[in-house]
Structure 1
Amino acid sequence: MSGWMQAVLDFLAAFGPWGLLFALTIEVIPSEIVLAVFGVLVAQGRISFPEAMCAGILGGITSQLLLYLAGRYGGRPFVERYGRYVFLFPHHIERAERWFAHFGPGAVFSGRFVPVLRHAISIPAGIVRMPLGKFVLYTGLAAIPWTWFFLQLGMAFVQDRVLLEREVHRYTLPFLALALVTFVAYVAFVKYTRAASRRK
């Protein structure tokens, strides 16, 4: 972890769950690293696990809701102009648009476990005006396992931050596998229901 990241996280740690909520809302540091570091704080007894879970889920929803609103009210030109300030570039947006156009609202859930796409997918959801309640529901459901896992990882490697950072990067792969399995199941379900409706 770079020095500035460590300094920012150490500062935010002083604010407990509010610091976690803020860090995930602005997300200039990858959420998996933020959650793992706050998992260390849970293990040290500085914040409780329920507090960290609630802050993690709410922070995950809030950060994506901001991107959703940017897409809904600002459109693609706004996002292309200002997205670079949150590390979202045109090719990321194009990839997310293709994913969303092909697989629909279910991509909001499955895309949450894919690097870069997990943020960018909120933008086309906003542009096509996906119902806000459904967007928040899918985003929240994806945030639960993501938050729980990386908090647990931080708690498990509380004594060794170097090893913790290595494990964070290592365990993002299982989430990618989970996304693919979820995605395949979703596509199969959509195809089955469409075929069933045509038979009727």
Structure 2
Amino acid sequence: MTDLESFIVHYGYIGMFIVLILGIVGMPFPDEVLLTYVGYHVSLGNMSLNLAIFIAILGSISGISISYLLGQWLGVPFIKRFGPKLRIKEKQIDWVRNNFNKYGATFLIFGYFIPGIRHVTAYVAGFSKYHYFRFAVFAYIGAIFWASTFIILGNILGDQWEYITTFFSQASKIMWLIILTGVLFIILRKIKRN
């Protein structure tokens, strides 16, 4: 049993709430594995399905809201100050803002299902000045789908819940490969135009 699993066994709903907040803000916790593990405990009768889903949604909403506020607070001045060291130019910041305003809803709802993406979408929304109400609607809908999906999946899988770890390990590698290929394609197109 991992430390994270024993933490959930020991602290239950409160532990799950805290880990989800920290995980979404950016701590390296395997959130899908955690939620599936909680679903497994639901299947054993150790936790209530409705309460587990409610607490998971609450933790996810809290974590993503904190990330949004940090994005607003640190914002563009932070990026302008440290951006040149990371080779981030003001032109790129404008591009991110414009694209987030176009596709932000998709990023916020479906980004939860892509490890790494869910951790940055709220920061980008915050520093892009994406309207808080729109952010909340889409990010909170995403939280509901994401948390419910993995807890229900863990409940259905029962003692086979650990297969989700292997699946997500492979799926996230494939997803990152697709994303990197897409970014490379965009960069090469820009270079070819210039």
Q: TM-score range by the shorter chain?
A: 0.5 to 0.7
Q: Which letter does structure 1 place at the counterpart of 2:5?
A: L
Question: Which residue in 2 is equivalent to 1:67?
Answer: 67
Shift of 1:37: 0.9
Normalising by structure 1, report the TM-score: 0.66
Question: Which residue in 1 is equivalent to 2:39?
Answer: 39
Question: Which residue in 2 is equivalent to 1:146?
Answer: 146
Q: Does 1:25 align with 2:33?
A: no
Q: Matches of 2:62 and 2:80 in 1, distance apart?
A: 20
Q: Deviations over 1:113-141 (max 9, x none)?
A: 33312221111211132222221221110
Q: Does 1:15 align with 2:11?
A: yes
Aligned pair count reads 162
Shift of 1:152: 1.8
Task: Verify the 8 A CA contact 2:36 2:161 in the aligned structure 1.
Answer: no
Shift of 1:167: 4.1
Q: Which letter does structure 1 place at the counterpart of 2:37?
A: V
Question: Which residue in 2 is equivalent to 1:57?
Answer: 57
Question: Which residue in 2 is equivalent to 1:186?
Answer: none
Q: Matches of 2:106 and 2:19 in 1, distance apart?
A: 26
Q: Which is further off, 6-15 or 118-127? A: 6-15
Q: Which letter does structure 2 place at the counterpart of 1:41?
A: H
Q: Matches of 1:26 and 1:108 in 2, distance apart?
A: 18
Unaligned runs of 5+ in 2: 176-194
From the superposition, tell whether residues 96 and 25 of structure 1 become closer, same or farther in structure 2 (CA, over 3 Å).
farther
Q: Which letter does structure 2 place at the counterpart of 1:16?
A: G
The root-mean-square deviation of aligned C-alpha atoms, in Å, is 3.3
Task: Verify the 8 A CA contact 2:100 2:128 in the aligned structure 1.
Answer: no
Task: Verify the 8 A CA contact 1:24 1:60 in the aligned structure 2.
Answer: yes
Q: Matches of 2:5 and 2:54 in 1, distance apart?
A: 18
From the superposition, tell whether residues 48 and 160 of structure 1 become closer, same or farther in structure 2 (CA, over 3 Å).
same
From the superposition, tell whether residues 146 and 38 of structure 1 become closer, same or farther in structure 2 (CA, over 3 Å).
same
Unaligned runs of 5+ in 1: 82-88, 177-200
